[in-house]
Amino acid sequence: MHTRRHAGRVPVFLLVVLAAVAAGLGLWLGLRSHAPPQPPPMQSAQVYPQPRPLPAFALTQSNGKSLTAADWQGRYTLVFFGYTRCPDICPTTLATLHQALQQLRAQGLGGQVQVDFISVDPKHDTLPRLAAYVHAFDPQFVGASGPDAQLQPLTRALGIDYARTPDGHDGERVDHSAAVVLIDPRGRELAVFLPPLRAGAIADDLARLIAWRR
């Protein structure tokens, strides 16, 4: 009896293996095609895997106009929370953000970035005081504030802390986070800049993000 061999026949188990590999490759390609594009490498910014939506809020700008989530759309916004009587962190941070914005302006990108300073001490930071304070750093800076009922849901959503406690001298001590939050053009929290803040690194990261989002 002679056994006939079929040279062109592929063993069944090999077909099963090839089918599994093909299915896995198809799944990987499908997931990859639906995955959000990854941001470019950053020097300073910590970019979130997914932008975070913000709650509705209503604050008041130093010019008397309202500041809502709609004002944080259409461009990138650097948001810093502090107070005008702050002895060190606030003036240092605002000076650094001014330097970063100047570098972006030199690249023709200044119109795509806004800086908002939000006071967490509305009792003392009146609108005229806020306007004089922020404009001393940069005429284009926006100052705003509001009651705790509006501030707290926003700061919690952004991962920012602040607290006011009596200082023992008929005044209050204000403690607050030193982070700068980055809002993307769709009004979502995209990234955070943590101390120590460097103007050059902030400007470079923003320039890369602007180019990446085009």
Residue 141 is encoded by which pair of tokens? 């800076």
Q: What's the whole-number mean pLDDT along residues 156-179?
A: 90
State the Cα–Cα distance between residues 165 and 173, nearest whole angstrom.
5
State the Cα–Cα distance between residues 81 and 162, nearest whole angstrom.
8
For residue 124, the 8-state DSSP code is T
Whole-number percent of the chain with pLDDT over 90: 76
Which residue ranges make up each domain of the chain?
Answer: 45-213
Measured from the Cβ of residue 22, the count of other Cβ atoms closer than 10 Å reads: 10
The angle, 0 to 180 degrees and rounded to 10, between the axes of the packed helices 199-213 and 89-106 is 50
Q: What is the CATH number of domain 45-213?
A: 3.40.30.10
pLDDT value for 213:
75
pLDDT value for 60:
98
pLDDT value for 24:
45
Q: Which residue type does 156 have?
A: R
Sign for the CA dihedral angle at 151, 156, 157, 160 comes to positive
pLDDT value for 6:
47
Within 39-195, residue ranges assigned H as helices are 89-106, 127-137, 148-158
- pLDDT tens digits, residue range 168-200? 776 788 999 999 999 999 999 999 999 999 999
pLDDT value for 135:
98
The angle, 0 to 180 degrees and rounded to 10, between the axes of the packed helices 127-137 and 89-106 is 50
- pLDDT tens digits, residue range 63-79? 999 999 999 999 999 99
Q: What's the whole-number mean pLDDT along residues 156-160?
A: 97
Quick check: 25 pLDDT over 50?
Answer: no
Whole-number percent of the chain with pLDDT over 70: 82
pLDDT value for 34:
56
pLDDT value for 172:
83
3-state secondary structure of 168: coil
Residue 109's nearest CA partner among 191, 197, 180, 211 is: 211
3-state secondary structure of 194: coil
